[in-house]
Structures are given as C-alpha cells and as structure tokens.
Chains A and B, each alone.
Chain A
Amino acid sequence: MTLRRLGIYSAVVVISAWVALPLVLITLAAFSPREILYAWPRRIWPERFTLDTMLFFVRSAGVLQSVVNSLIVAVLTIVLAFLISAPTGYALARYRFRGRDAVQLAILATKMFPATVLSIPLAVAFIRWGLYDRLIGVAIVHATLSIPFVTVIVSSVFVGISYELEEAAMTLGSSRLQAFLRVTIPMALPGLAAAAIFTFVLSWNEVFAATILTLNNRTLPALIINSVVAAGAPLHYRFAGGFFMVLPALIIILLIRRYLLTLWGVTVR
C-alpha cells in the first residue's frame, strides 16, 4: 500500500516537473538581466530581476505587428470554426439524421492526416487561390484544425441541455429560433466560451501552418521561429518570446481549469 502510494506520488512529481520546470525556468529567464543569462556557470535563481529582457523582446522589429496578426487570426479562427462547428454540433446533439455516423467519422478522419503531409500541396493551393501570406489563409487552416475539437465540445454541451427545455419554451409561445436563443444559448454559453478559448489557444500556439503559409504577415509563433531559426536571435529574445507565447494559455487555463475538466469529463464519456 505504502509502496503503491510512493509510486503514485513519484509519478505525480515527475509529471508535474516535466510540465512545470520548463515553464518556471523560462519565466525566470524572461525576467533576468541579460548578463546573467550569458554568465557561466549559470545560476538557477537569478537574484536580480528586470523588465529589460521583456521590453527588448516587445520592442524588437515586427513583434507588436505579429501579436496583432496573431490576435486577428485567432478571432477569425474562432468565427470560422464556430460558423461550421456550432450548427454541426447542434445537429449531432439534437437530431437523428441520415449520415449522422458518417459526419461523426468524418470529424475524426480529419485528424488522421498530419499537417506536415498536407503542407506543400496546401501552400501551392493557397498561392494559386491568392490566400498565401494572408491572415485569412492562416485562419482557415487553424479553423480546420480546431473544427473537430470544437464540434465535439459543442455537441457535448448541447447534449447536456435537455431538448424538452426548448420544447417547453415552444409550448409557451416561442418560435424554434426564440427557444434556441432564449433557453439553449444562455445555458450553453459557458461551454461555448470554453470552446472558443480553447480555439484561441490552439490558434495562438500553432506554428507549423503559420510559418509555411506566411512570409511578411507573420503571426507571433511564426515570427519567433523565424527569428530563432533563420536569424539566430539571442538567448534573451528566445526566453522572452517563449514566455510571451505561453502567457495567454497559462492565464486562460488557470481561469477555466475547473470548467474545462468537467467539459472533458462530458466529452470523453
């Protein structure tokens, strides 16, 4: 029993460290003065903190513009993904229709093709369609990536809301649309918000498609990767950039972690 418990606790410690240690180190480094980062032997605890490193990153060429680009792409992604996933999820949750299983399978199937395989044909096609190096192009790819998740989440949210509530609203004089807007949507809102936030994080962090499909209009991860790989950006730029990338996801997950857990609990079922 004690041995078992010891095993569980060690696993917890290892897994937590696996996730948390890089976050802690990157955060420390992002607020360390430049000379400490280059000092040898390197100290774990910097002892002196400064905002200079972060300010250097934020003031670097293209960073602010790419943050704006990332935000635009994320919002577009959310809009596109919801335009498709919300009705699909609702239909899957509410109706038995011909081809229902096929739709569910198709949603899973999109996850079968790795983005790497699709990247070159995709880039060619986007150049042909005039979508290359445009934010909407990146948003379309991000939406494609997130649609399966969002559909599953949205559908589980609507499954959790009894259809009888809509019917009750209809017997009380609502039209089908009014019943949906007045009864179902308010109840679904937290779940839909969680799905939107999830989509935001997915788009904010996505680097592969963003790098391949943009040249001048970089999103933040694409810009950082490019600076690091092509231009050999200095260490403090890398740490500050890494911290900046991780920040929104961290904050959001912290805020909605309890809700996300119940959401997954429902979805996994």
Chain B
Amino acid sequence: MAEITLQHLRKTYGKVVAIKDLSLDIKDGEFLVLLGPSGCGKTTTLRALAGLEMLDRGRVIIGGHDVTALPPGKRGIAMVFQSYAVFPHMRVYDNIVFGLRMRGVSPGEQRKRAEEGAELLQIASLFDRYPAQLSGGQRQRVAVARAIVMQPDVLLMDEPLSNLDALLRLHMRAELKRIHREVRSTTVYVTHDQVEALSLGDRIAVMLEGEIVQCDTPARIYNAPANRFVGSFIGSPPMNFLSGTLRTVDGRLTIERDGARIPLPPARKVTAAPADGTVLVGIRPEHIEVTAAPAPEALPGRVVVLEPIGAQQLLTVRVGDDIVKVSTPPEFQADAGQQIWLRFNPDRIRLMDAQTGAAILS
C-alpha cells in the first residue's frame, strides 16, 4: 500500500518529447487511469514509474521512498503488460510464482499465495498447462495473478484488455474492478479506451502530447472537460462543439448564434471573456432536446441522418456549417432534410475559448 508522487518527469527520445513536464500525486489505494490517444506519453509514464525507462529529469516517489534510481524489481511494483508477457517456457504455476522465487519466498508460502491468486482469478485448474495451451483471456488472468501474488504496493497495467475480443473485454473490465476492490493496491492503468477509463478509474488523467491535460474524477472529466480535446476525446459520440458569440443581455450571459439566444443560468460565470465575444459552445448529445416548432432559444437545423443504436437513437443534424450529434429516444422519428430546432440544456453548456480551446465557464 503506497501513495505515488511523480515530480516534473521528462523523457525524450532523440528529438521526440515523450513526456514534457509531468507531475502527479496518486493516493494510496487509488485506481488511477492514464488516458490518451496513442503517442501521448501514457505508456512511457507508466514504464518510467515501473523503472523500465530512464528519465531525463524528475523524481518518482513511491510510499515516501525516492525510487527514481532503483531497478524495477526493487520498487515494490508489479506490472501487467499489454502482450501479457507470460513466460512461454514455464507452466502456469511457475509463471505465477516466478516473482516469489526471485524474492526467495519459501516454497510453502509460494504455494499458498499462488493458490490465493489463482482463486481470485479462477485459474487454479490451469496450473499444469503451458501458456501455448491457454486462450488469450486465460493468459491475461495468469499475467494478473502473477502480478498480484507479489502483493505489490503499486500495480501497473498497460492496456491489459486491448488484445481481448469485445465480449471478454467487458467481462474482464468488471473482473479487474472486483480484483482491485479485494486487493486494494494503488493501481495505475493505461488505456486509450475512454469507456474503460470511465468505468474503472477513481480518477482519470487525460494526456495529450506528453502532458496531463486534466486529472479528475470520471464524472468531472465527462461533465466538465477542461478543454476542447478532453470533450472531444471522451464520450461516444463525443461532445459537440459549435462556434457562437457570447454577449451580456439584460445582465445575463447569453450565447447568440443563427438568430437564437441561449441565456445561461445566472450562477455561471466566465473566467476569461474573449475580447470579440467569439466562443466555442460545447454540449453533449444527451443534453440537447429536439423540437418541431421554433423557439427563441432553439437553434434551427436540418436532419442529416437518424441511426438507431439500441436503447436510443443517434440523430445527426446540420446547423449552419456545423454538424451536431443528438441522442434521441427510440420512438423519435424524423426524415432526412426535415427542418427541426435544437434546444440546449443551459446548465450543461460548456464554453471554450475559440483560439486555445480551454474552458472559460465555471
């Protein structure tokens, strides 16, 4: 059990900057997800934490000890690799107790911990098999068991679900959450899958180009993205962004676009008003209501396409030059080309600076 502090990490490969200047505090027992597109530095950060990458600069502190100069085996970590990295020339049991053997744990204790780990992962019946005789999902479980029997202070996982098929991934996701609840190791989990991040993380650190863009709870990340990137990376479909003009009308902040005026709730304040009033309006598809009749606060648009996606439908609407995605109830009907009006929930609107993309509305 240990908290982690990363201080000003920097890592470059030649001229490529993998991590710029990354600082992060992770609480004891927390499940932290590093989320971002490929090449954002999330895996490099994890590997630096594991001691598999030498940093150019910065310090890694685990449980109060500066481990920056320690090799991976002395950091109190265990890691689950994307490829599982299960040793093919060893039976499942030998794989699971490999780390315990390296530590010089007694054979009796090895057996005990391996059995506990195997029970947690439901793989006790596979002890005598070789990895080649296992399915991908089973290999994954062996890799997790091998890490957990080490009783690590910190458990690191590098996209552990990305090589599984969709159904198995869903199942293992829930399993990992259950295992974390039982083991309670501080866990750092790397993924590019925003659904995984939202479902697993106590907190999510969204990364882009070697920097943490936002680190917050899944709810805050989803509802209050810190900038345009976070909003467009998280959610399926992602947040809509439309240009608009911010004015103060009758003492209230009001967004104007295409003749519509959307007054914002009085409690909301702009942190940095742009000089010319041009802003990006961010709104999630489920926070838009479709009406057949015009209203002063509704934006006019034309239906492009309506796609049923099970529990709801996804409506694509053209508003001026922008495309807006709207979630509608399954009974909603519309024809292509039909004129409709979109009413944005003013409580759920995010405003971003048109140039920087940073959120400017509290």
A residues near B (Cβ < 8 Å) are: 162, 164-165, 167-176, 178, 183, 186-187
Set B73, B74, B85, B98: member contacting A162, Cβ < 8 A: B85
Residues of chain B contacted by A162 (CB below 8 angstroms) = 83, 85
Interface presence of B88 (CB below 8 A): yes
Q: Nearest CB to that of A185 among chain B residues?
A: B89
B311 at interface, CB cutoff 8 A: no
- Beta-carbon contacts under 8 Å, B22-70 to A: 50-52
Please count how many residues in chain B sit with their CB below 8 Å of the partner chain's CB atoms: 23
Q: Looking at the complex, which one of B51, B85, B156 makes contact with A165 (CB distance below 8 Å)?
A: B85
Q: Which of B74, B88, B98, B150 contacts A169 (CB 8 A)?
A: B98
Cα–Cα distance between A15 and B73 once the two chains are bound (Å): 56
Does B239 make an interface contact (CB < 8 A)?
no
In the assembled complex, the Cα of A171 lies from the Cα of B67 at a distance in Å of 13
Q: Quick check: A170 and B52 within 8 Å, CB to CB?
A: yes
Check B52 against A172 for contact (C-beta < 8 Å).
no
Output the nearest chain A residue to B13 by Cβ-Cβ distance: A96
From residue B32, how far is it (CB to closest CB) to chain A in Å?
18
Does B77 sit within 8 A of A, measured CB to CB? yes
Shortest distance between the CB of A87 and any CB in chain B (Å): 21
A173 to B102, CA, bound (A): 6
- Considering only CB atoms, which chain B residue lies closest to A189 in the complex? B89
Q: Within the assembled complex, what's the spacing in Å between the Cα atoms of A186 and B88?
A: 10
> From residue B152, how far is it (CB to closest CB) to chain A in Å?
9
In the complex, which residue of chain A has the Cβ closest to the Cβ of B149? A172
Bound CA span A77–B280, Å = 72
Hey, which chain A residues are within 8 Å of B50, CB to CB? 171
In the complex the two chains form, is B81's CB within 8 Å of A172's CB?
A: no
A187–B78 Cα distance when bound, in Å, is: 23
Question: Given contacts A167-B81, A168-B79, A168-B81, is CB(A173)–CB(B87) below 8 Å?
Answer: no
B274 to chain A, nearest CB (A): 46
State A175–B71 Cα separation when bound (angstroms).
Answer: 8
Q: Does B15 contact A (CB under 8 A)?
A: no
Q: Do A187 and B89 touch across chains, with their CB atoms under 8 A apart?
A: yes
Contact between A183 and B78, CB atoms less than 8 A apart:
no
**Known contacts A168-B81, A172-B73, then 6 further A-B pairs from the complex at CB < 8 Å, ordered by chain A residue:** A165-B87, A167-B72, A167-B85, A168-B87, A173-B74, A183-B87
Q: What distance in Å separates the Cβ of B162 from its nearest Cβ neighbour in chain A?
A: 14
Query: Would B102 and A172 count as touching, CB distance under 8 A?
Result: yes
Whether the Cβ atoms of A186 and B89 lie closer than 8 Å is yes
Let me know if B137 is at the binding interface, CB within 8 A. Answer: no
Task: Give Cα A186 to B94, complex, Å.
Answer: 14
Residues of A within 8 A of B74 (CB): 173
Q: Which residues of B contact A (CB under 8 A)?
A: 50-52, 71-74, 77-79, 81, 83, 85, 87-89, 98-99, 102-103, 146, 150, 156
Distance of A239 Cα from B351 Cα, bound (Å): 93
Contact, CB under 8 Å: A173 / B52: no
User: Which residues of B lie under 8 Å from residue A167 when comparing CB positions?
Assistant: 52, 72, 79, 81, 85
Q: How far is the CA of A169 from the CA of B72 in the complex (A)?
A: 9
In angstroms, Cα B88 to Cα A252, docked, is 27
Give A169's nearest chain B residue, CB to CB. B98
Q: Are B87 and A171 closer than 8 Å at their CB atoms? A: no
B88 contacts A172, C-beta separation under 8 Å:
no
Q: 26 A–B contact pairs at CB < 8 A? A: A162-B83, A162-B85, A164-B85, A165-B87, A167-B79, A167-B81, A167-B85, A168-B79, A169-B87, A169-B98, A170-B51, A170-B52, A170-B71, A171-B73, A171-B79, A171-B156, A172-B102, A172-B146, A173-B73, A174-B102, A175-B71, A176-B71, A183-B87, A183-B89, A186-B89, A187-B88
Question: CB distance A171 to B52 under 8 Å?
Answer: yes
Contact partners of B51 in chain A: CB under 8 A: 170-171
Residues of chain B lying within 8 A (CB to CB) of residue A172: 73, 78, 98-99, 102, 146, 150
Q: Which residues of B contact A165 (CB under 8 A)?
A: 85, 87-88
Check A173/B103 contact, CB under 8 A, given A167-B72, A168-B79. yes
Complex Cα distance, B102 from A175, in Å, reads: 9
CB pair B72–A171 under 8 Å, yes or no, is yes
Nearest residue, chain A, Cβ from B75: A171
- Taking CB atoms, residues of chain B closer than 8 Å to A171 are 50-52, 72-73, 77-79, 156
With a cutoff of 8 Å between Cβ atoms, the chain A residues found around residue B72 in the complex are 167, 170-171
Contacts of B71 in A (CB 8 A): 170, 175-176
Q: Which residues of B contact A186 (CB under 8 A)?
A: 89
In the complex, which residues of chain B have a beta carbon less than 8 angstroms from the beta carbon of A164? Answer: 81, 83, 85
Q: Which of chain A's residues has its CB closest to B85's CB?
A: A168
CA distance A165 to B90 in the complex (A): 12
C-alpha spacing A167/B156, complex, angstroms? 13
B83 and A175 within 8 A (CB)? no
* A165 to B83 Cα, complex, angstroms: 9
Chain A residues positioned under 8 Å from B87 (CB to CB): 165, 168-169, 183
CB-CB under 8 A from A178, the residues of chain B are: 102
**List of 9 A-B pairs having minimum Cβ-Cβ separation, nearest first:** A172-B99, A173-B102, A168-B85, A173-B73, A164-B85, A171-B79, A171-B72, A170-B72, A186-B89
B357 to chain A, nearest CB (A): 36
B79 to A, closest residue via Cβ: A171
